[in-house]
Amino acid sequence: MAANPMYQFNVYRIGPEIKIGEIDLSFTNASLFMVISSLAILIIFNLGAQKKNLIPDKIQLLSELSYTFVSKMISDTAGSKAKPYFSFIFSLFMFVLFCNMFGMIPYSFTVTSHIIVTFVLAAFIFIGVTIIGFIKHGFGYLKLFVPSGVPVVLLPLIVVIEIISYLSRPISLSVRLFANMMAGHTMMKVFGGFVVSLGIVGGILPLSFSVALTGLEILVAFLQAYVFAILTCIYLNDALNLHH
């Protein structure tokens, strides 16, 4: 069964079955890696925040650089109004990044390769952004679907397209991350399988490819976390600044 490239995405129970009524809330390997990622983030950033050197050491520099990186990303895409949402976007970015990165360790589990996880995050963002938009602009937020400078004849069509594109945001956001992680890991598994099946002589080609893919996947892991965070910022920008 281990040869199946999809086997790595299996979720299985760790420890006892926890059930509340009919609902299964058991602790699984997915939950384990969520906990590991969160703990890693908390430990690293807590260590970085404890030190107050004028000239930062490595771990302090790491946390401070991440802070300024995310802060700059938010202010660049969503402006100064997005400052109250900094902690959320920072947590989101770090959570996705660490989940992706922990997924790169062989025999580990990639939390973000599950559509349900990414979809819950994306749906939460979507609902949150929509609520923020309506709170800030009232029903004026609906102007988002009516772009200015469009001929009146085209307007009904454009509005429909805008609404569909708005509603598909959580799907595109979640599927992008999930598909990237799943495809990457599956491909690595497939190449790993080829290394074994082609033996010492023939296996060198897929092995070198596998090494290159690992580098690529680490890049993708960072990039997808970044894209996830920056798209959140862009949606937030729509809700806060209403440019249309």
**Position 69 contacts another protein (CB under 8 A):** no
Q: What are the tokens at 162?
A: 């805008």
Contact by Cβ (8 Å): 4, 186:
no
**Position 191 contacts another protein (CB under 8 A):** yes
> Which burial class, exposed, middle or buried, applies to 218 when counting CB atoms under 10 A from its CB (0-12, 13-18, 19+)?
middle
Q: Counting every residue, how long is the chain?
A: 244
Smallest distance from another protein to CB 26, Å = 5
User: CA 204, CA 113: separation in Å to the nearest integer?
Assistant: 28
Site string for another protein, 223-242 (x = CB under 8 A): --------------------
Q: What are the tokens at 37?
A: 């990622």
Smallest distance from another protein to CB 51, Å = 8
**Position 126 contacts another protein (CB under 8 A):** no
User: Which residue in 113, 174, 224, 232 binds another protein (CB under 8 A)?
Assistant: 113
- Please, which residue, 90 or 235, has the CB nearer to another protein? 90
Integer CA distances (angstroms), 240 to 80, 163, 230, in order: 10, 18, 15
Smallest distance from another protein to CB 189, Å = 8
User: Which residue in 145, 166, 209, 226 binds another protein (CB under 8 A)?
Assistant: 209
Which range of residues in 45-53, 143-151, 158-166, 226-234 is near another protein by CB under 8 A?
A: 45-53
SS3 at position 78? helix
